[in-house]
Amino acid sequence: MKRKFENIQELQTLEEYNEAMSYVNDIINEATQKGFLSSPDADNEYIRELGRIGNMCADYEDNKYLFKNITVRGRSPLVRVLQEEMYKRDINQKEIAKMIGINDAVFSLFMNGKRRLSMNSARLLYKKMNIDPKLILEYA
């Protein structure tokens, strides 16, 4: 089996993520053809490689990749717009929090509807992220 992504610990871009997902499919196809996935208790190079790359893909999905077609109930329109901007810019919540000068845990609480943003933070969302000021005034 030819291994890929050996020199990286974390996927940084959507392009890397897509390449890694394609690689996962290639591994699955090759391992299936060779019979390495036939036992649920199997432990072999294919299983270990799937785990390694799968974990990197899951981490990327958790931190950066937002599924545009999934609507999260209860999220404010401002949060939805921020999620779309994060997807477009390929950035995560920590990066936005840093951009607007607040703790990432505080920003996470805002994104989950458990806290409101200060007017200063809301103003910086407008300046740094070019978010519609009407949304900010109504939902921050």
Distance CA 59, CA 53 (A): 10
Distance CA 125, CA 117 (A): 10
* pLDDT given at position 117: 83
- Shared-domain flag, residues 123 and 82: yes
Tell me if 86 sits within 8 A of 64, measured CB to CB. Answer: yes
Task: Count CB-CB contacts under 10 A for residue 89.
Answer: 12
CATH of the domain at 125: 1.10.260.40
Which range marks the domain in which residue 40 is found?
Answer: 14-63
Q: What is the arithmetic mean of pLDDT over 66-92?
A: 74
Reported residue count of the chain is 140
| CA 94 – CA 114 distance, rounded (Å) | 17
How many domains in the chain?
A: 2
Rounded to whole angstroms, how far apart are CA atoms 82 and 64? 12
Note the pLDDT of residue 19: 93
Residue 69, pLDDT > 50, answer no
- The pTM assigned to this predicted structure is 0.47
Residue range 65-87: mean pLDDT, rounded: 70
- Give the pLDDT confidence of 17-49 residue by residue, as tens digits: 889 989 988 988 898 899 887 776 778 898 888
pLDDT tens digits along 89-138: 999 988 998 999 888 888 887 887 777 888 888 888 889 988 888 888 88
Domain-embedded: residue 43: yes
